[in-house]
């Protein structure tokens, strides 16, 4: 069995937390899109999600520079981004709704319901 170093344990814990918040963000996006004017609600949810993730990332912020140096290059950057893919999806959905790029009508059209 391999023993991970301290930085990797901190990163893994934070990424797991961020993806859990991402699942919440996806649910909040699904809730916001149902309102007549979802943009202000999506902005509010996006603000809360951002504060929540930042507030709980103190340990990760302490090691982030040294941790990112371990993964140089584009492919490693993509690999790290995929480790928080669920979080990124949730934030992208909320951002799309807040910026009026994602609407209920566009979702219905994409699914072929219109």
Per-10-residue mean pLDDT for the chain, 114 residues long?
77 94 97 95 96 91 85 87 94 97 92 80
- 1: in domain: no
For residue 64, being part of any structural domain is answered with yes
Rounded distance between C-alpha atoms, residue 23 and residue 87, angstroms = 7
Is residue 16 assigned to a domain? yes
pLDDT attached to residue 3: 61
Residue 37 lies in a domain: yes
* Overall number of domains in the chain: 1
- C-alpha neighbours within 13 Å on the C-beta side of residue 80: 15
87 within a domain of the structure (yes/no): yes
Provide the residue range defining the domain that includes 11: 6-111
- Does residue 56 form part of some domain? yes
The CA distance from 87 to 100, in Å, is: 20
């Amino acid at each position: 069995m391999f023993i991970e170093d301290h930085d990797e344990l901190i990163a893994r814990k934070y990424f797991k937390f961020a993806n859990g918040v991402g699942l919440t963000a996806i649910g909040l996006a699904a809730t916001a899109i149902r309102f007549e004017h979802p943009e202000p609600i999506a902005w509010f949810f996006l603000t809360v999600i951002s504060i929540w993730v930042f507030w709980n990332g103190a340990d990760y912020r302490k090691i982030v520079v040294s941790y990112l140096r371990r993964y140089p290059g584009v492919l490693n950057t993509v690999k790290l981004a995929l480790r928080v893919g669920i979080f990124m999806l949730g934030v992208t959905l909320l951002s799309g709704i807040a910026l009026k790029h994602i609407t209920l009508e566009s979702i219905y059209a994409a699914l072929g319901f219109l």
